[in-house]
Chains A and B, each alone.
Chain A
Amino acid sequence: MTPTDTARLQRECEVFCRYLIRRAPSAYILEKYCEAHARASEYSSAGAFDDALLNFAARGPAFARFADSYACLFARYSAFRRKLILLFSILESSAAQHGFSDAVDGSSQPILFLKIVSRGVLYALRLVLACLLFIPMRLALGSSHAAARKGH
């Protein structure tokens, strides 16, 4: 892995970490994220749209969330989505000091249900906007939705 690759992965990890847990990754998380890319081949992109989605998401945490709203349904096997899941798995495997919390919200059940519903509504709005952007992009770059669902 070249120093340029490492720098790109560290930048990527920082953005995705801020998206997932709203804080910068620790040195340990950065190291593990880069190490996983060096040891496993599953995280390389598989086409023009895959690249475009990843580049878009790596611009910042808000971009990552926007791209993820689309990818979680229509690009589940994309490199971007795989990288996010990798980071999630590293975070949940690590000590709490690295920022991953699996604590409950603490609200009463009715309040919690309201929070879940409001998050669902916000997600639906993001999804609609993301579709408006990414579906034309995907068509322009020549990658079909059916192929993406099958993991190609």
Chain B
Amino acid sequence: MDSVIIVGSGPSAVHFALSLLRKNYRVTMLDVGFPKPPAVNPADSFAALKENLADPAVYFLGEQYDGVLLPNPEKEFYGIPPSKDYVLRQPAGAGFNASGFAPFFSFAQGGIAEAWTGGCYPFNAAEVSDFPFDFADLERGYAEVAARIGVIGAPDDLARFFPLHENLLPPLDLDAHSAQFMSVYEKRKDWLHRRLRCYIGRTRIATLSRDLGGRKKCGYLGRCLWGCPTDSFYTPSITLRECMAFPNFTYQPGLRVTHFKFDGAQRVTSIVAEPAAGGAPQEFSAERFALAAGALCSTKIYLESIFRSTGERLELHGLMDNRQILMPFVNLRMIGKPYNPDTYQYHQLGLGIDTGDPRGYVHGQITTLKTAMLHPIAANLPCDLRTAAFLVNNMHAALGIVNVNLHDTRRQGNFVSLAVDAVAKDSRLVINYAPEPAEVHRLRAAISTVRRALLHLGCIVPPGMLHVRPMGASVHYAGTLPMSRTRGRHTTSENCQSHEFPNLFLVDGATFPFLPAKNITFSLMANAVRIADCAF
């Protein structure tokens, strides 16, 4: 039985592992793996949680009250809630220096996707034209992943941007605000299509509208933001648990992989990991190795391995991420209406803009506000807090936000390298990013189109509330070790096999040569399944 070591436990890693386990490979997964705390009161709804918890303030605001979002010009409206703090917990030795980029790193079991919002947006044929494989191969991966995790969706106006694949589940019930929004869209969509080339429909989401395996369908508890207590909403730790049921799987948490060693024939011989709690490094050997720790962490391991063996300090160019713009809006027809917290909380609707460029699609996720904390909104209104509370309460059911995503391309100036402190025997990842000069025009065009579309649907974007997020905020990192049709230096084959190290696979976003304006998590999982099918 062939042995494979996989580094990381994020979406790519767990689906790659599951495919290999089903093919009877012996798989060892090395991971820092900070675990998810057990769900509290799993049967309670959002409102019941406040009533039934002995100390609800600590649950919602955290032990140190970090969940209180005080006004701060540097901070965003919402961060990760205290119940998901473990997702961003950092082990020692995970430092970085970044310029023009604000990265997030996760060392949790399941990776950063433990705190994702579930968007599953398959790339289309035009968007994978730079990828050196057939679109049909990826399509099979989408169908397989959808069957594993459960993805809801509908063949509606957004299907022109997201190819339909097998195993889609029917959508969930819409909350009242989203339903109202869609009913207005149905009446006015001709104008939106004709004038703005703007389309609206149901998003594809990794959640269950019917039972799947041991997981129950969404019970509308309204706790999505705080962590689904019933696993109806998919996160990669669910697949990790599935992997653990295989006798040929070994999960080794508490280890931070620093580098791999290779011989004169460029074959990787072992992986070196340091215990996250401190202690002597450990070495692990196998026949094949897969870096699936997320584009930036995998790239750091790759850079460090080459530096330690050869002294060469590489710069890997082509780092990409989706620029995101948050556009809060008020739906005028919903003002004064009561809101129902017992609904699905993340985006249920999406907005797509056809820019005329097949790869220039602009994507927006429309989230109607339900159980998110109100104090960050009230605190930012230009009036005293009691008046603000009155306004927020009466506009609660009318508030929403569009998260607009733009595509990115690999460019020479955006690189990742290593800074080494020989005295401290420490290395840090160095990240340099600058947006392309034309980005500002794309930003303005996207903002203008979304604003006009919202206005046409009876919604206004309050002045001064729009927020262009810093690069790095979307956590859709890609492009540093791209798949290539030619054997360029520090590239990979169509099966994500390193051209430098033939028994090393890069199974995450590092290999993507283009980044459409879509959450890449679903494509990462599908690609991992594709690699396991084609190369193993």
Chain A positions near chain B (C-beta within 8 angstroms) = 19-20, 28, 32, 36, 39-40, 42, 65, 68-69, 72-73, 76-77, 81-82, 84-86, 88-90, 92-96, 101-105, 107-109, 112-113, 116, 119-120, 123, 126, 150-151
Given A40-B66, A88-B385, A94-B56, 17 other A-B residues pairs in contact with their CB atoms under 8 A: A39-B65, A40-B65, A68-B385, A69-B384, A77-B70, A85-B69, A85-B378, A88-B375, A89-B69, A90-B57, A92-B374, A104-B394, A104-B397, A105-B336, A119-B390, A123-B383, A151-B73
B68→A86 contact, CB < 8 A: yes
- The residue that B384 contacts in the complex, of A42, A65, A96, A105, with Cβ under 8 A, is A65
Q: Which residues of A contact B339 (CB under 8 A)?
A: 102, 104
Q: Which residues of B contact A150 (CB under 8 A)?
A: 73
Say how far B64's CB is from chain A's closest CB, in angstroms: 5
- The residue that A89 contacts in the complex, of B61, B72, B337, with Cβ under 8 A, is B61
> Closest 8 A-B residue pairs measured CB to CB?
A93-B60, A68-B384, A89-B375, A36-B65, A112-B336, A88-B375, A93-B57, A89-B68
Say how far A152's CB is from chain B's closest CB, in angstroms: 11
C-alpha spacing A66/B72, complex, angstroms: 23
Known A-B contacts A20-B389, A90-B61, A95-B50; the reply to A126 vs B71 at CB < 8 A is no
Question: Does chain A have a CB within 8 A of B99?
Answer: no
B379→A85 contact, CB < 8 A: yes
Q: Which residues of B contact A36 (CB under 8 A)?
A: 61, 65, 68
Question: Does chain A have a CB within 8 A of B427?
Answer: no
A123→B379 contact, CB < 8 A: no
Interface size on B, residues (CB 8 A): 44
C-alpha spacing A105/B395, complex, angstroms: 10
- The residue that B335 contacts in the complex, of A94, A95, A109, with Cβ under 8 A, is A109
Q: Which residues of A contact B384 (CB under 8 A)?
A: 65, 68-69, 72, 123, 126
B373→A92 contact, CB < 8 A: yes
Which parts of B55-88 form the interface with A (CB within 8 Å)? 56-57, 59-61, 63-73
Which parts of B232-265 form the interface with A (CB within 8 Å)? none
A-B contact pairs, 10 of them (CB 8 A): A19-B386, A32-B57, A40-B66, A72-B381, A72-B383, A89-B61, A95-B51, A112-B394, A123-B383, A151-B73
Known A-B contacts A36-B65, A86-B65, A112-B335; the reply to A93 vs B385 at CB < 8 A is no
Say how far A13's CB is from chain B's closest CB, in angstroms: 13
The 8 A CB mask of B348-369 against A (1 = contact, 0 = none) is 0000000000000000000000
C-alpha spacing A108/B69, complex, angstroms: 32
C-alpha spacing A69/B532, complex, angstroms: 61
Q: Which residues of B contact A94 (CB under 8 A)?
A: 50, 56-57
Q: Which residues of B contact A85 (CB under 8 A)?
A: 68-71, 375, 378-379, 385
Question: Does chain A have a CB within 8 A of B382?
Answer: yes
Question: Does chain A have a CB within 8 A of B124?
Answer: no
C-alpha spacing A104/B335, complex, angstroms: 9
C-alpha spacing A126/B393, complex, angstroms: 22
Known A-B contacts A104-B396, A116-B394; the reply to A20 vs B386 at CB < 8 A is yes
Say how far B339's CB is from chain A's closest CB, in angstroms: 8
Q: Which residues of B contact A93 (CB under 8 A)?
A: 50, 56-57, 59-61, 373
Chain B positions near chain A (C-beta within 8 angstroms) = 50-51, 56-57, 59-61, 63-73, 335-339, 373-375, 378-379, 381-394, 396-397
Say how far B52's CB is from chain A's closest CB, in angstroms: 8
Known A-B contacts A88-B389, A102-B374; the reply to A81 vs B71 at CB < 8 A is yes
Say how far A84's CB is from chain B's closest CB, in angstroms: 5
Q: Which residues of A contact B397 (CB under 8 A)?
A: 104
Q: Which residues of B contact A20 (CB under 8 A)?
A: 385-386, 389
Q: Which residues of A contact B375 (CB under 8 A)?
A: 85, 88-89, 92
Say how far A55's CB is from chain B's closest CB, in angstroms: 18
A89→B373 contact, CB < 8 A: yes
C-alpha spacing A96/B341, complex, angstroms: 14
- The residue that B378 contacts in the complex, of A40, A88, A119, with Cβ under 8 A, is A88
Q: Which residues of B contact A113 (CB under 8 A)?
A: 335
Closest to A113 in B: B335
Q: Which residues of A contact B64 (CB under 8 A)?
A: 39-40
Q: Which residues of A contact B51 (CB under 8 A)?
A: 95-96
Say how far B58's CB is from chain A's closest CB, in angstroms: 8
A123→B387 contact, CB < 8 A: yes
Closest to A122 in B: B387
Q: Which residues of B contact A126 (CB under 8 A)?
A: 384
C-alpha spacing A32/B61, complex, angstroms: 11
C-alpha spacing A151/B59, complex, angstroms: 28
- The residue that A65 contacts in the complex, of B379, B381, B386, with Cβ under 8 A, is B386
Q: Which residues of A contact B73 (CB under 8 A)?
A: 150-151
Closest to B381 in A: A72
B336→A101 contact, CB < 8 A: no
C-alpha spacing A33/B291, complex, angstroms: 46
Say how far B280's CB is from chain A's closest CB, in angstroms: 36
Say how far B270's CB is from chain A's closest CB, in angstroms: 45
A72→B382 contact, CB < 8 A: yes
Say how far B68's CB is from chain A's closest CB, in angstroms: 5
- The residue that A73 contacts in the complex, of B66, B382, B390, with Cβ under 8 A, is B382
Q: Which residues of A contact B60 (CB under 8 A)?
A: 89, 93
Say how far A115's CB is from chain B's closest CB, in angstroms: 8
Q: Name which of B56, B57, B61, B63 has the most chain A CB atoms within 10 A of its CB.
A: B57
C-alpha spacing A14/B394, complex, angstroms: 25
A119→B336 contact, CB < 8 A: no
Q: Which residues of B contact A116 (CB under 8 A)?
A: 390-391, 394
Closest to A84 in B: B385
C-alpha spacing A90/B59, complex, angstroms: 11
Closest to B74 in A: A151
Say how far B329's CB is from chain A's closest CB, in angstroms: 17
- The residue that B71 contacts in the complex, of A39, A77, A95, with Cβ under 8 A, is A77
C-alpha spacing A152/B66, complex, angstroms: 20
- The residue that A101 contacts in the complex, of B72, B335, B387, B393, with Cβ under 8 A, is B393
C-alpha spacing A41/B57, complex, angstroms: 18
Closest to A42 in B: B70
